Every structure is written in structure tokens, then in C-alpha cells.
A and B are shown apart, each in its own frame.
Chain A
């Protein structure tokens, strides 16, 4: 998953660094006494929230207003284990309740229409921005070199009929907001809402950001990204670490929850199409993968070994499929996959599974022969297609074959 950040990490690491006004907060580890004192300071009202990597409507269920310490403690305990849309909370925290007459939405992101950064603002914050009518929100491009200036922001607020006394402070706040965006290598950040109270001061009351791993500023920002318990399966975590261990060749996987076809796929584009075709044809792919980018032998061996270790035993067909490669050397990748398969059999025992292969590209002929030799020596059934057979047809065939094998397996087990 890309580097992301939600409100608690923002409160802990970013808000003060960029002088962004935020409510006071305490984490779930705070003592009862500290919470009681804080509630007194906050005029008896706090907001308990789950720290969960999820946004949108479902998140409202894990935000609750509390008015005394008993309620606060109970809600902190409850929400520390909350779940939203399959995502589990990491912890919970309590923030000062900000009474507000006005809620403002703001986001900075890179926008395909301008091919650069843009700022979106609405005076109808606190709700899903997609549900806000177009006339109530405005998006403007921001010069990536010069950045956002307060005048530009004030023009935007004027256009949205922002109360005049607020324009100056909101504009200055958005300039700091932009500074945070551009200084830390973000791809997108959103505050929804800024709650503006009777004192005309805005407070950032929810936050999310996505960072650009390719941006050197992210490394220099020295941020800590909390780990969320449900964000990846063990296989995904293992593969993510393996992927990050080298820049040569990709090792991306995302589990899809299927149980039939184990797909070793090459190329992001082809991989997506193949996974869709498998799914549509009932092939229930176990995961989505992209192992392209011309991986060297050791890289491909390691990738294949991990796939086999986690999923070969439960699969009903092994599919090795990609389009006609431009750079990826077929003999290197196929020899590596074959060797990993042979090693898996030696170390973990044989698996009876048909292998369906489709590929084209540099050094395909020795690659196919190496793979065929391995499959012959392992005595596995196989079908190998060249690049003249469309990948989607191969995927459909693999799906049908896997379904047959699974049915046969189940029938045998029943007898």
C-alpha cells in the first residue's frame, strides 16, 4: 500500500511542524486523570475516534462525542478495536471538541486536468466532498514552483462567499497547508473539515494524506507511518518487503481472496486484464501480481518461491502468463520459476497441479524449452502457449481447467 497518514499521526508529527491549528488531543494510553483534566479544559466535551485507515461514510461510526471521563474511557476502549469496512483500528484517541458555526473543506492534490497541483476548497465541509454541489466547491491550479500564495487563496474564498472576517485567517492557514503538502512529498492531502468556531479560528478536525514514495522529500521528512493491523496479509507483507529489497524487477501482489488459480503474471497492464478475465471466467485468482520489469534470476526465484510457499498447495492451476515482453528475458524468468518450483517440491513435497503458460518476448525459445524440461522432469501436466494466443484466451482456459481440477479433487475426496 502507498504511504498514507490519518489524523492521529498528523496531530503527532505534522501539525505543529507546519503551525497548523489543531484541537488538543490525548492518545488511548492517557491516564484517567489526564483525560478528566483535559475534558475540564475542553469545557466538558471531547471527541473519541478510532485510528483507522479508512475514510468516507463508514468512518462516522467510529467517531463519538463524549461528555465525561467514564464515557471517554469506555469509548476509547471500544473504538480501539473497531472495524470499518474490513479495516481494523490501530488504536483510539480523544480530541478537544471544537464548537463550529462553519465547516470548511480543503484538499491539495495533483490534478490530471492541470497536469500539476491543485487546491480544492468548499465552505460545505464535514461531508463527503463528492456529495457537495459543484457551485459550492472550487478547484484552482497551483504553480508547482511558486506555490500557493495567500492572495490566490483569498480570491478562492471570496468566490465561495466566505464570511469576510474569516478570509484572511483561512487563506494564511491554507498557505501553511500547502507548505506541508509540498515539503513532505505528498501526493494528496485533505482536511475535512476545518471547524471554525465563534472565535473565528479554524481547527483541522480530520486529516488524510497519501505520500509519493518516489519523492525524495518524503525520506527527508523523517516521518513514521504507523502500521495498521489489517492492512496486509502475511503473504502481502512478505512480498512487500521482498519487493522493497531491490529495485530490479517488480514483485507486487495484492490478494484477491480467490482459491483456484495461482497467477504468476507479468506486466501491470496485462496482469490487470488477466486477473479480470480469470475472475469473470470463474477462475477465482488467488492474488493479482505484477512480476515484470525484467527481474534478474535471483529476484524471480525469490518471488516465485514465496508465491509457491503461501499458495501452491491450495491452488488448482498454476498460471504463468504475460504479454509479449519488451525487455523481460523469458529464459531467465522461466528458468528461475522452474527452479523455484523444483526446489519447492524438494523441500515441501510434491503438488499435483496443471501448469498453463503463455508468454512472448526476448529469448522466448530457450525459455520455453527450459520450462518444458523442468515440467517434464517434475512430471506435471502442462500447456504452453506462444504470444500468438491472446492472454485473455489463455486466462479463460486456465480458469476452466482449474475449475475442472478442483471439482475432480473434491469428488475424489468425497469418495
Chain B
């Protein structure tokens, strides 16, 4: 039986689209429709009677160019997917920049927390913070939007973690993420991110798919094999990877993500 699946996504949809274009025969049980929209355009939509329609000219343009559709009849699909859309492990690391809690290796190693800059907070307060952050992402908002408009199963596929190339330390904006890894908190943060995201989306009736385990490096990063040659969806279409890109994954990653989706939908 072939499942009709509609995948929505932002720039990270390109990895899955590349994989699908390169070898869709790998997923005989899937029939995919992909609709990409950059930035917050996915939220510029309305759902009435199970049909999702762009509500602005910019969204209409994106739907036409990246999906070839004027509207999406959600009822015609067996399942809906949301790809990336800012549901990223890096958010866990950025919140960790000023917060520590009991159970983290870095806290166990610190004799006097009160003299340090990061604040001691409870793990539950951190989780609440992370939940609030994830719910405000494009993915969080779009999942809620979709859930209110359709009874079809919805899966949200995590955004790929940041490239492991940042280990070189040249990207100052990634210091918080690197620091989380260097002080030994990466594993805990990775686990909390996936656990929190799963709980958050389950609570609104959306299935969460974490990043494929084999693509993860240093707990919070994506291994080089899954980032080299990545394309990304831009306003102008699929764009080749610039040297400075540290966010997008490649077709090999996309293939594994689709494997995960297929397995989840078959379960």
C-alpha cells in the first residue's frame, strides 16, 4: 500500500527533496508531495474544510513555485509531515548558555555555582523554557495550525543539528553551542531536546521524529558526511551550499530522514 504524504518545510526540506529526486524507488510505500516555503510563509495560510490555502501573495508565490500548487487539500493525504522549521537542538544549547541545573556534568564539576555566571535553575524550569521556545518556532506554530485544521496524522521531523565543522571554533556565533559540548553537557542537552520536543508535540497530537541517530556527531552536531554538498531551499529555489553554511544537511541525510518517516508511518 502506498501512503500519500504531504511534506511541508522551510529551507531544510531541500535535503529530503534531493534524496527523493535522486532515488524515490527506495521508498516504494511513499508517494510524496513537497511544499516548501521559506521564513514564516507557512504560517501565512488558512485552513478551511480541510483545505490549506495561502493567505498572502508571498505565500501563494511560494506554494506555486515550490509545490506547484495553489492550495493543498489535506484530506487527500494519508499523512502530513513538517520538516525542520526551526525545531533545532541548537536552541537547547543557546538556552543553556545562561542556565545550569543539577544533573549536568558541568554542574557536578563546579564547586561554587553562586560565583559563576550561568544561573542555577531547576531542570524543570529549563524544560519549561525549552518548551516555550520550541512552541514559538515555525514548526511549533505550524504544527498547531495544521492540527487544528486536519485530522490526518502529522509528523514533525527535527531540523538537522549544526554542522560539525563548527568544531574549528571559527564561528563566534556558535560559541554557546560549542561550549555546551566542551564542558560535557552535550549528551544531556541532546537528550533533553528530543525528550522535550517529543512531549511538546505529542501533547498537541503530533508525532516527533528526532534526527537520525547515525547522522549525529558530538551529540549536538551533524556529522560531516551528512552536510557536505547540502542544498537548501531559498526564495529563488534550491540553492547550492555556500562555504559558510553550517545549518543544512545533504541528500544522504534526507534519505535517512525519509527512512525514518516511512518506518514511523508504517508502524
Is B a genuine binding partner of A? no
Chain B positions within 8 Å of A, measured between CB atoms, are none
